[in-house]
Structure 1
Amino acid sequence: MPRLVFSDSDLGRVRFAVLPFQETLKAARGLGLPAPPPGLAAWRHAGRAALPAAARPVVALCSAHPRHLPDFLTPQPAAGPMTFEDELHAALDDPAAPVLQDTAAFAGVLDTVPPVVGTLLRQPTRARRALRDAFAAFHRAVLAADWPRLRAQLAADVAYRARLAARHGVEAMLATLCPPHVRWEHPYLEFAGPVAPDYALGGRGLVLAPSMFLTDGVHRQLNDRQQPMLFYPARTAGAFWRDSGGRDWPDGRLAGAVGERRAAVLRALARRSGRGTADLAAALGVTPATASAHVANLRRAGLVVTTRVARTARHELTPLGWDLLDLNAG
């Protein structure tokens, strides 16, 4: 297994990122591979039916190789949250990006070079503009409607890993990151993939990015010009796709434990902590009185804590509430 080599300073520079454009790349890969990644067959059928002709070059590019893409498509993520447009701009509008060099390296690992890669080699500036439009068309047609649900799953994964690191340390979090695809044994993070030399992080740390579409292993982004990155399957991806592709996702074991409405309250507070009663009611589609009653029951059970800011009640999950969600994740 390939290995990333950590120094002590690298352990202090591990961070997480939720990256919508990178999820678009993984989704396009899932649509184009000869066989769908595990769990994505039903979603792929619907995605292919919705795919506009303008977005087909994106699918051809992202599925040309099962593990690799041109490096310029995965730029250094910002420290704060990034929108799809933010990432798209960083990937395709930076005049300093070595597009020709990265594309040539990518073409070198392909058995068959698709036309979109050939165009990038011959006319990189023009091809990037065309790709920008194609990615936007793909995102609108295939991902935009489902993105709020997908983002909630990714944010929940990051929150879970952050709590694990806070309670037990970064190394404990790395040790449970993504079995069986990833294994931690100090100072090495091993991951499934073709044999390769050890890669020393060199004090730059590591960006960990969960993915809902990467259900068949991990992907890495390692080069000398940016912080190393590792993409891994989000822990709820299997259950999400199993349960009708995430549409009208049932709360499963959690609903059985506390009831459907209270499970919905817990998940809403996990997605955004500190909601007010009216905000929570709007998110659940119930009256404020009903939301307040559900919160009161959860508060009595020790799963929610309520504080007052001016005249507004703010609700948050307690550690026990987080533990219940973690225990009953798919």
Structure 2
Amino acid sequence: MPRLVFSGPDLGRVRFAVLPFQETLKAARGLGLLKPPAGLAAWRHARRAALPAAARPVVTLCSAHTWHLPDFLTPQPSTAPMSFEDELHAALDDPAAPVQRDTAAFAGVLATVPAVVETLLHHPERSRQALRHAFTAFHQAVLAADWPRLHAQLAADVAFRAGIAARHGMDAMLATLCPQHVRWEYPLLEFDGPGAPDFPLGGRGLVLVPSMFLTDGVHRQLNDRQQPMLFYPARTAAAFWRDGGAWPDGRLAGAVGERRAAALRALADRPGCGTTDLAAALGVTPATASTHVANLRRAGLVVTTRLARTARHELTPLGRHLLDTHIG
């Protein structure tokens, strides 16, 4: 199993990032793989019908290999929040990016090299412009309308893990990052994936990036020109897709109403409460409270975590913003 080797300074240089363009890459991968990642089958069925022809090269490129992409598509993330356009510009408009070299390395791990990769190899500048249009078409057709609720889940994941680090230390945060795929025992962070030599972080630290579409493992971005990155499944991804994250009625417009607003208020007053406690606060049955929570979760306003058989619910940043701005 691959392993990242930490030194003392690396622990102080671990940070998180929420990256919409990288999430676009993971979504395109989820659409193109022969076997859909866990939980994404319904979403994939719904979104394939809406995929424009202009976006198909993106799906082919991002699903050509289960675990790898050309490195230039994952540029160094800024410490400031980045929009989809910011990331797209950083990935495709940097004249110093080694597009041919990165694409050649990527082609070397493929059993079959698709036409989009061949074109990148032989006509890198023209291909980058074509990819810019293809990624924009894909994002608009597949991700843009759902991004607020997806972002809410990702931001909640970062806040949760930052809270663990603040209360219990970085060691505890890394140990609980993604137990099904990641194992931590200082100085080694071991994770599932294709075998590779140990990779010393060398004092550069690590960028941790949650994903709603990467439900089947972790991805890495390791090279000598930027801060190492590790992509991992967001802790609420399974519940989000199980609740019907593929369907339009889960979007924000369908989440507001008197009863759901009352549920938002109750959760704001009782962060981390269970379904039974919420039902008592609302004066409804647990089944009804569970339905309210599921609707809010589909809209990206609530996250649910489970400990044994107990479900705990809390507002996402988007949920708090909606409550503060429109409901009060």
Cα distance between partner residues in 1 of 2:216 and 2:318: 29
SS at match of 1:145: helix
Cα distance between partner residues in 2 of 1:43 and 1:27: 10
- Residue aligning to 2:95: 95
Letter in structure 2 aligned against 1:182? V
Cα distance between partner residues in 1 of 2:159 and 2:325: 23
- Deviation string, structure 1 residues 54-109 (Cα, Å, up to 9, x no partner): 00000000000000000000000000100000000000011110000000000000
Counterpart check, 1:248 vs 2:291: no
- Residue aligning to 1:35: 35
- Relative to structure 1, the CA distance from residue 43 to residue 262 in structure 2 (aligned partners, 3 Å threshold; closer, same or farther) is closer
Cα distance between partner residues in 2 of 1:67 and 1:5: 20
2:277 corresponds, among 257, 260, 263, to 257
- Residue aligning to 1:66: 66
SS at match of 1:50: coil
- Residue aligning to 1:297: none
- Deviation string, structure 1 residues 102-160 (Cα, Å, up to 9, x no partner): 00000000001111001101110000000000000000000011110100000000000
- Residue aligning to 1:210: 210
- Relative to structure 1, the CA distance from residue 75 to residue 172 in structure 2 (aligned partners, 3 Å threshold; closer, same or farther) is same
Q: How is 1:138-177 mapped onto 2 (pairs within 5 angstroms)?
A: 138-177=138-177
Cα distance between partner residues in 2 of 1:181 and 1:55: 31
Cα distance between partner residues in 2 of 1:262 and 1:50: 29
- Residue aligning to 1:280: 323
* Residue 196 of structure 1: how far off its partner (Å): 1.4
Counterpart contact for 2:19–2:82, Cα < 8 Å: yes
Q: How is 1:185-196 mapped onto 2 (pairs within 5 angstroms)?
A: 185-196=185-196
* Residue 280 of structure 1: how far off its partner (Å): 2.3
* Residue 257 of structure 1: how far off its partner (Å): 2.9
* Residue 274 of structure 1: how far off its partner (Å): 7.7
TM-score (norm 1): 0.80
- Residue aligning to 2:111: 111
- Relative to structure 1, the CA distance from residue 189 to residue 281 in structure 2 (aligned partners, 3 Å threshold; closer, same or farther) is closer
- Deviation string, structure 1 residues 264-292 (Cα, Å, up to 9, x no partner): 687795415985xxx62654xx5xxxx4x
Cα distance between partner residues in 1 of 2:24 and 2:275: 31
Letter in structure 1 aligned against 2:151? R
Letter in structure 1 aligned against 2:124? P
* Residue 255 of structure 1: how far off its partner (Å): 4.8
Cα distance between partner residues in 1 of 2:2 and 2:180: 14
- Deviation string, structure 1 residues 140-184 (Cα, Å, up to 9, x no partner): 000011110100000000000000000000010000000110000
Cα distance between partner residues in 2 of 1:188 and 1:270: 32
Structure 1 segments unaligned to the other structure (5+ residues): 292-330
SS at match of 2:111: coil
- Residue aligning to 1:7: 7
Cα distance between partner residues in 2 of 1:282 and 1:81: 21
Cα distance between partner residues in 1 of 2:37 and 2:208: 20
Cα distance between partner residues in 1 of 2:46 and 2:213: 14
Cα distance between partner residues in 1 of 2:114 and 2:229: 26
Cα distance between partner residues in 2 of 1:226 and 1:93: 17
Q: Please provide the CA RMSD for this pair.
A: 2.4
Counterpart contact for 2:302–2:319, Cα < 8 Å: no
* Residue 47 of structure 1: how far off its partner (Å): 1.1
- Residue aligning to 1:17: 17
Counterpart contact for 2:152–2:318, Cα < 8 Å: no
- Residue aligning to 2:270: none
SS at match of 1:209: strand
- Residue aligning to 1:271: 317
Cα distance between partner residues in 1 of 2:239 and 2:174: 22
Letter in structure 2 aligned against 1:94? D
Q: How many aligned positions are there?
A: 282
Cα distance between partner residues in 2 of 1:83 and 1:266: 23
Cα distance between partner residues in 2 of 1:266 and 1:28: 25
Counterpart contact for 1:255–1:262, Cα < 8 Å: no
TM-score (norm 2): 0.81
* Residue 194 of structure 1: how far off its partner (Å): 2.0
Letter in structure 2 aligned against 1:271? P
SS at match of 1:244: coil
Cα distance between partner residues in 2 of 1:256 and 1:32: 41
SS at match of 1:239: helix
Counterpart contact for 1:37–1:215, Cα < 8 Å: yes
